[in-house]
């Protein structure tokens, strides 16, 4: 009987610990996301991008049946030997990549600028169905494009968070699909040397840290829960939510992101890669990119555009020239 009493006490103790853990997790998850004030440099930079000649959106059907949006820029001569897929940054959509896409099309690339699911005209704003869905979407887009450009090679460009996602893609299951990678002011994670700290940066994003901690812990123990909840808010202008994505769910945030192990990711790259950033970037420490990739073979190029801000990398003449040259380089 003694062993029964001891077993009962142990079960009660364990149940109490589990109950306390559940209550703690629930308390963390319940903390609301707060919207930061509008960041003028990002708003002004987005408005400064020339939309002239921007094509209407086209659609492709992803494997879950959802029709996702993208813009297609034919190569100037009508040739179809090279295709560039250009990924926008956090909160954005395909229109902010118009100047880059227009220039690359003039340089004889077929350019495709998707609205990543959860943004623009693709899917539910601010959310996806599961971690990894963005990779599946890109795979489906590539399948669609290869039907039309069977003999073309493909390059991948990504801006800011889209740059981190592009690195993830180029070192993951789709690494075989691309012959060149260009990362534009890439966001490589909150703890990356290239990311400015809270006291050294304009505030673009406000994460809900308690909720992030709780949801991350649950995912790590194999109990994913509540991953549709928003965990980060962006400093978008009041009333702009009709056009931009103001918040990300946990699963969108973790999918639209760089690999956690940057060193390992960069060492896995097998294609020519260039990082381009502005010397006046208010969100990134551009001089730290070279430190991150130093010693990695094959060598990864890092080019700094003098005077360019975070958004300015997408519109300034010098920045556009640098991007074009990087993509054209063999």
Convert the pLDDT of each residue in 153-200 to its tens digit. Answer: 999 999 999 999 999 999 999 999 999 999 999 999 999 999 998 877
pLDDT at residue 242, rounded to an integer: 85
Burial class (CB in 10 A: 0-12, 13-18, 19+), 139: middle
pLDDT at residue 21, rounded to an integer: 42
pLDDT at residue 18, rounded to an integer: 38
pLDDT at residue 9, rounded to an integer: 52
- Number of residues that make up the chain: 330
- Using CA atoms, how far residue 289 sits from 123, 183, 194, 236, in Å, is 33, 11, 6, 26
Helix (H) or strand (E) holding 240: none
Q: Which domains does the chain have, with CATH numbers?
A: 48-205+245-328 (3.40.50.1820)
Residue matched to tokens 């981190």: 164
Output DSSP code: residue 285.
-
For the chain, percent of residues with pLDDT exceeding 90: 82
Whether the predicted pLDDT of 12 surpasses 50: no
- Give the span between the Cα atoms of 57 and 72, in whole angstroms: 8
3-state secondary structure of 163: helix
Whether the predicted pLDDT of 142 surpasses 80: yes
Distance, CA of 251 to chain centre: 12
Residue matched to tokens 């991150």: 292
3-state secondary structure of 232: strand
- Give the span between the Cα atoms of 323 and 317, in whole angstroms: 10
Facing residues of 83 across strands? 110, 154
* pLDDT tens-digit readout, 83-127: 999 999 999 999 999 999 999 999 999 999 999 999 999 999 999
Whether the predicted pLDDT of 19 surpasses 80: no
3-state secondary structure of 205: strand
Burial class (CB in 10 A: 0-12, 13-18, 19+), 25: buried
Whether the predicted pLDDT of 13 surpasses 70: no
* pLDDT tens-digit readout, 245-263: 999 999 999 999 999 999 9
Range list of H helices, the chain: 2-29, 40-47, 98-106, 133-148, 161-170, 209-220, 250-255, 262-268, 289-293, 317-328
Question: Nearest Cα to 97, choosing from 88, 109, 105, 106?
Answer: 88
Whether the predicted pLDDT of 288 surpasses 50: yes
pLDDT at residue 8, rounded to an integer: 47
Tokens standing for 23? 């209550």
Whether the predicted pLDDT of 3 surpasses 70: no
CA angle at residue 69 from 232 to 182, to 5 degrees?
Answer: 70
- Using CA atoms, how far residue 94 sits from 68, 157, 183, 321, in Å, is 12, 12, 16, 20
Whether the predicted pLDDT of 17 surpasses 60: no
């Amino acid at each position: 009987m003694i062993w029964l009493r001891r077993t009962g006490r142990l079960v009660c103790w364990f149940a109490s610990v589990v109950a306390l853990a559940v209550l703690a997790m629930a308390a963390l998850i319940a903390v609301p996301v707060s919207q930061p004030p509008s960041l003028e440099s990002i708003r002004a930079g987005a408005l400064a991008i020339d939309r002239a000649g921007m094509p209407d959106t086209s659609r492709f059907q992803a494997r879950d049946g959802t029709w996702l949006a993208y813009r297609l820029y034919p190569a100037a001569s009508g040739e179809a030997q090279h295709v560039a897929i250009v990924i926008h940054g956090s909160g954005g959509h395909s229109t902010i990549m118009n100047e880059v896409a227009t220039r690359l099309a003039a340089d004889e690339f077929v350019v495709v600028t998707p609205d990543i699911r959860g943004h623009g005209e693709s899917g539910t704003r601010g959310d996806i169905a599961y971690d990894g869905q963005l990779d599946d979407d890109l795979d489906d887009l590539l399948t669609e494009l290869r039907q039309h450009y069977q003999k073309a090679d493909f390059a991948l460009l990504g801006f800011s968070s889209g740059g981190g996602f592009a690195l993830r893609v180029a070192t993951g299951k789709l690494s075989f699909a691309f012959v060149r990678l260009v990362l534009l002011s890439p966001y490589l994670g909150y703890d990356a040397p290239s990311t400015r700290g809270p006291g050294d940066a304009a505030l673009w994003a406000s994460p809900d840290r308690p909720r992030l901690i709780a949801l991350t812990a649950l995912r790590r123990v194999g109990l994913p829960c509540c991953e549709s909840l928003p965990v980060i808010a962006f400093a978008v202008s009041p009333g702009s939510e009709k056009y931009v994505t103001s918040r990300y769910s946990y699963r969108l945030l973790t999918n639209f992101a760089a690999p956690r192990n940057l060193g390992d990711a960069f060492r896995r790259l097998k294609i020519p890669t260039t990082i381009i950033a502005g010397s006046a970037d208010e969100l990134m420490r551009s001089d730290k990119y070279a430190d991150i990739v130093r010693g990695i073979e094959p060598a990864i190029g890092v080019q700094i555009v003098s005077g360019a801000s975070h958004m300015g990398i997408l519109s300034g003449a010098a920045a556009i020239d640098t991007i074009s040259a990087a993509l054209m380089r063999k």
